[in-house]
Amino acid sequence: MKKLHSIFLAIIAYLALAMPAQAQEVAASLDARVNEIFANATGWFVNFIFMAIPGTSFPWIVMWLVIGATVFTIYFAAVQFRFFGHAVSLVKGDYSDPNDAGEVSHFQALATALSGTVGLGNIAGVAVAVGIGGPGATFWMILAGLLGMASKFTECTLGVKYRNEYPDGTVSGGPMYYISKGFDELGLPGGKILAVMFSIFCILGALGGGNMFQANQAHAQITQITGDFPGWITGLVFAAVVFLVIVGGIKSIAKVTEKIVPFMGILYVGAAIVVLIVNYDMIGWAFGQIFAGAFTGLGVAGGFVGALIQGFKRAAFSNEAGVGSAAIAHSAVKTKEPITEGFVSLLEPLIDTVVICTMTALVIIISQQLIIDEATGLYMLNDAGTAIATVGDTGGVALTSAAFGSAISWFPFVLAIAVILFAFSTMISWSYYGLKAWTYLFGEGKTTELIFKIIFCIFIVIGAAASLGPVIDFSDAAIFAMAVVNIFCLYFLMKVVRKELNSYASRLKSGEIKKFKH
């Protein structure tokens, strides 16, 4: 991995020497123009999606996701806890028949979906949540993550049940398929219209939040170590590597993610464990701060409500439970039992939010990089004395880096590698999500797929080269607009999932479903 990283930086350094001086001026002019066009044309949509509930600072889209997760948890009688052990067995391959229809294993499907959710939000977003909401935000983040497991279970079960299986062994699935086919099966109107709406939002989200934003932030972190150079160079390198992976389809993507996801997870969580070991005597105190802040809002403007909002927001934005994106990746799994992939998928929010996000929060709390400003009641950066609420995501990265650096002086280098891996894995996963939405609208075929893959890679270069604020805002809004359509439809289709669950549970209990002998 260090060798690959060195090659990556060497390519960047070489290309930077040949970069025309006029390119930066052209990019800046284009950036400003695109910003103006998008801000004027899409500002209303962005403001609507992220609009706060009247009288609060709680975005209604977050409430929409949390309510959906709560409904599914109750409706399926806490399925995420009852079948947790069975989910682990499925990931291990205990019940996997290699002759089942599909393209990837349970583990590969989980790794691909995780690579799309585990990303920069786990590093920067958690720091912002703790900075604004205090340690108590961590409690609500964990709760929302646990509830979100039920949302993933619901949508991923449906993804497999209603997927299209083709003669060549490939499959296509996801919300656009289970919405259209599921609504037709139940005799409900509007299924195809809702499926088209979801697909459009998915393509826009894939090109923006799942692509341009990742490339942009990866370039920003790389320049922190290598020095400033044009973003299009980073974009070209990323685009070339991503294209080499995605041109091979989901099997190629799965082979890469099954290696990258465990590596980057171990790398990041391992660094967090080192910090916790160094400060082992403060772990109990940190959890005390989390529970106290969750219900009393100690030192947080707005009391415990502020902690609740920040925790729920971070969990919703991080694990994407209810958005429907993960159902596209999980639909490619090899299985004849749709419900099994529902069980596997419920592990996603646990790993992404409950484990990785919580580890970040614990390190920040234990490192004591935040102190309370007695005048404002806000948590402040200990070294700079600047309120984290005023510095946004950049301050979030800085806070996380400083927290880890308090115990590991060379952590900024590890962080740079983590950001590159997180960005790369997110891009290749979202390329698949966008591709399946694209083929749903324009038809299956190698030419159709190649067109989207080329467009996707072009947007990587654009994202790395420019600071397209309104474009990113719009694409983020598109991702959560997917959730509006998806959860609305899940309420009608969840009875189909319960029928599948009851059938599988009874057969598992009777011994009809047995472990497969490999």
User: Number of folded domains in the chain?
Assistant: 1
Is 362 within a domain? yes
Is 512 within a domain? no
- The alpha helices in 279-390, defined as continuous H runs, are 283-296, 304-319, 325-330, 338-345, 347-349, 358-367
User: For residue range 111-162, what is the model confidence (pLDDT) as tens digits?
Assistant: 777 776 766 667 767 777 777 777 888 888 888 889 999 999 999 999 999 9
Query: Which H or E element spans position 465?
Result: helix 446-465
d(CA 198, CA 175): 7
What is the distance of C-alpha 288 from the center of its chain?
A: 28
What is the pTM (predicted TM-score) of this model?
0.82
- List, in sequence order, every beta strand (DSSP E) within 373-504: 379-381
User: For residue range 395-449, what is the model confidence (pLDDT) as tens digits?
Assistant: 456 677 777 777 777 776 777 777 778 788 888 888 889 999 999 999 888 888 8
Query: Which H or E element spans position 164?
Result: strand 164-165
CATH number at residue 489: 1.20.1740.10
Is 30 within a domain? no
pLDDT at 491: 96
Is 41 within a domain? no
d(CA 266, CA 197): 38
Is 97 within a domain? yes
User: For residue range 150-195, what is the model confidence (pLDDT) as tens digits?
Assistant: 999 999 999 999 998 888 777 888 999 999 999 999 999 999 999 9
d(CA 481, CA 485): 7
Is 478 within a domain? yes
Residue 316's domain comprises 57-507
Cβ neighbourhood burial of 368 (10 Å; 0-12, 13-18, 19+): middle
Beta-carbon count within 10 A of 92 CB: 12
Is 10 within a domain? no
Is 513 within a domain? no
pLDDT at 390: 37
d(CA 86, CA 31): 50
